[in-house]
Homo-oligomer: A and B are copies of this chain.
Amino acid sequence: MFEKGESAARNELLLSFKSLGNANVMIQKIFNMIGQSKFFEDFTVNDVEKLTSFMHAYEVEAGTTIIREGDIDDYMLFIIEGRVNILKTDSNGERRPMTIAGPGTTLGEMSMIDGEPRFASCIALDATTFAVLSRESMVEIIMEEPSFGSKILIKLITMLSQRLRSTSSELVHYLEHSQTQAI
């Protein structure tokens, strides 16, 4: 079902972070951030507890690179506390800030699913805690709890669709603008 991303150096960064153990130790903080999260908006308390039990929590200091563009990893993460800067390298090799993500935001879901290299880098602006959902855990959820697994997958599709709509709209705007300049 998931064939790619089996590189040896996979998840290299993740192994360097301070582990807080199973994410259910953070359950109260996770409930605190849920109000800010599109991902969890139609999840029941039971769903959140179930998903959390499949996740691992980590904390990092401000300035830490959480996700490095180009890396081969196989997990996504949910920011529990702290803000994260998202940067993408442009063709001159310079890192261009794209957006800032806060508690409740999911990061890295594309690589979790498709195994392609990380598209952008994520650097902690504050001391940041986050919960990690690995591809392996996602497969476990799908096998053990297929209906809950579908709910998560549908959620991911919804979020990607929304991001694609907004990115495509921005692109149409720029194309329009650049054509206007050319006239």
- Residues of chain A touching chain B, judged by Cβ–Cβ distance below 8 Å, are 1-3, 42, 88, 90-92, 96, 98, 109-110, 113-114, 116, 119, 142-143, 146-147, 149-151, 153-154, 156-158, 160-165, 167-168, 170-178, 181
Q: How far is the CA of A175 from the CA of B42 in the complex (A)?
A: 35
Identify which of B109, B154, B172 contacts A1 (C-beta below 8 A).
Answer: B154
Q: How far is the CA of A110 from the CA of B110 in the complex (A)?
A: 16
Q: How far is the CA of A109 from the CA of B92 in the complex (A)?
A: 35
Q: How far is the CA of A88 from the CA of B171 in the complex (A)?
A: 11
Residues of B within 8 A of A161 (CB): 109-110, 113-114, 116, 160
**How far in angstroms is the closest Cβ of chain B from A160?**
4
Identify which of B3, B109, B153, B178 contacts A178 (C-beta below 8 A).
Answer: B178
Q: How far is the CA of A168 from the CA of B130 in the complex (A)?
A: 25
Q: How far is the CA of A165 from the CA of B111 in the complex (A)?
A: 10
* In contact, A2 and B172 (Cβ under 8 angstroms): no
* In contact, A176 and B110 (Cβ under 8 angstroms): no
